[in-house]
Amino acid sequence: EPEVTQTPSHQVTQMGQEVILRCVPISNHLYFYWYRQILGQKVEFLVSFYNNEISEKSEIFDDQFSVERPDGSNFTLKIRSTKLEDSAMYFCASSEGHSRSYEQYFGPGTRLTVT
Partner 1 sequence: TQLLEQSPQFLSIQEGENLTVYCNSSSVFSSLQWYRQEPGEGPVLLVTVVTGGEVKKLKRLTFQFGDARKDSSLHITAAQTGDTGLYLCATTFYGQNFVFGPGTRLSVLP
Interaction site with partner 1 (CB under 8 A)? 4, 33, 35, 42-45, 48, 56, 58, 89, 91, 93, 100-109, 111
Instruction: Please report how close the Cβ of residue 81 comes to partner 1 at its closest, in angstroms.
Output: 25
Instruction: Please report how close the Cβ of residue 59 comes to partner 1 at its closest, in angstroms.
Output: 9
Residues 6+ away with beta carbon under 8 Å from 45: 33, 35, 56, 58
Instruction: Please report how close the Cβ of residue 52 comes to partner 1 at its closest, in angstroms.
Output: 18
Instruction: Please report how close the Cβ of residue 30 comes to partner 1 at its closest, in angstroms.
Output: 16
Q: Which of 80, 91, 108, 2 minimizes the C-alpha distance to 48? A: 91
Which CB, 20 or 60, lies closer to partner 1?
60
Which CB, 56 or 68, lies closer to partner 1?
56
Burial of 11 (0-12, 13-18, 19+ CB in 10 A): middle
DSSP 109: -
